Amino acid sequence: MKKILAFTLVLVLSLGVLVACKTEKDPDDNADKNNDKNGSKVDASHYGNNLVDVDILEYILSDYVTLGQYKGITYTPTSTEVTEKDRQDALDQLRNLPVADKTHIVKSGDTLVIDYVGTIDGVAFDGGTATEQNLEIGSNSFIAGFESGLIGAHVGDTVVLDLKFPDDYHSAAMKGKECQFTVVIQKVYQYLEVTDDFIKEKTDYDTVEAYMEYLNTKIKEEKENYAFYTDFDQIWSEIKKTTTVKTAPEETITNYYSVKIGNFELAAENYGVDVEQYAQYYTYYTYGQAMDYNSYKNYLLSESQTLMKEVFIMYSIAAKENILITTKEYYAYLDKMIASAEKPMYKTAKELDSKMSDTYRSYLVTNDLLIPKIMKYIIENSVVVAK
């Protein structure tokens, strides 16, 4: 059987196996390495004298993936046109600011800045206290009666609400219990007039015209970025339809699952709650359905199995098409990181690289460079169909 040296794509955010990567130290070490031109064996080091060589796991990909069609797939491109509404919506975000207007009477649709303390039987409960919390009246973000109970009050008022947690509340400890919230309405968001003076105060620009030019460029970039991922999703769904993937190697699933569980347990610890309580809270607000910790772990295991299958499709396409990251690309990216930093700590890309851990370097190379490069290749080799 032919083995592939498959890139280990780190997926801390969405896909992943966490491994280290290294930079080639001696350019001469890259010469005359094996490479099967048919794509069945890809050795990263063959790719030239200047190469970031991502550490690899040696898997027999043909035992796991039978690639279907991944070129010539048709898709409808997402519009990147910047409209007047786009510009106005972005400007409204800047001029919609919290104001301590004590003449304002709260109504549905207002966004308030509030402080509140919740108690059960006179005792404050975990998660029931907050300061400077934004709340849109009518969003149903809080339990029944909370938002409607603030309607008619003035900014600056203190309102006491006697309420009851619903019988199906996600926290078993609070289901059906009577509670009291003391709410201080600090401010209300209002749309302020946009003038040159306002722009000078709130932005790095001197005039409304200059700021609108910046907004136009910013919105265009955001739309292009959104279109990139939306277009890829269209194509990727078609690739998966014609590609056969067996279960990925157990260690890749275990690695991803372990990272996710570790991050979850660390988050619970940082919030100062036990994992059972945090599981119910996290799953309710993330998935719309509260799960106990065991149910969430089962969900994560299933997610890990599914994502690893997609990783191995990525592996196969990258290997088949010799998609790699060169040191030129890598150091150019580090240069951009340094240039975009407000107060750069390092002067050169090589200096920055020398301070990186292997784990972070691997994450950066794969998630910021390699995966987008594979995605770009797939999009560029697909066929645009007009709407």
The Cα 198–Cα 59 span in angstroms is 59
The Cα 103–Cα 38 span in angstroms is 74
Does residue 52 surpass a pLDDT of 50? Answer: no
Q: Report which of 71, 6, 24, 10 is spatially closest to residue 369, judged by C-alpha positions.
A: 10
Each residue of 86-105: pLDDT tens digit?
999 999 999 999 999 999 99
Does residue 39 surpass a pLDDT of 70? Answer: no
- Which pLDDT score, from 0 to 100, does residue 59 have? 55
Does residue 107 surpass a pLDDT of 70? Answer: yes
**Region 38-52 average pLDDT:** 35
The Cα 198–Cα 210 span in angstroms is 13
- Which pLDDT score, from 0 to 100, does residue 34 have? 33
Strand partners, 245: 65
Each residue of 178-223: pLDDT tens digit?
999 999 999 999 999 999 999 999 999 999 999 999 999 999 999 9
Strand partners, 186: none
Burial of 253 (0-12, 13-18, 19+ CB in 10 A): buried
* Confidence category of residue 60, pLDDT binned at 50, 70, 90: low
Print burial letters for 143-157: b (CB count within 10 Å at least 16), e (below 16): beebbebbeebebee
Domains annotated on the chain, with CATH:
4-70+243-384 (no CATH), 101-191 (3.10.50.40)
Query: Tokens 């970039």 belong to which residue?
Result: 221
Q: Which DSSP helix (H) or strand (E) runs through 251?
A: helix 250-271
Q: Which DSSP helix (H) or strand (E) runs through 223?
A: helix 208-242
- Which pLDDT score, from 0 to 100, does residue 57 have? 40
Q: What percent of the chain shows pLDDT beyond 70?
A: 84
**Region 284-307 average pLDDT:** 90
Q: Following DSSP, what letter does each residue of 93-145 receive, concatenated?
A: HHHEEEE--TTPBP-TT-EEEEEEEEEETTEEEEEEEEEEEEEETTS--SSTT
- Which pLDDT score, from 0 to 100, does residue 142 have? 93
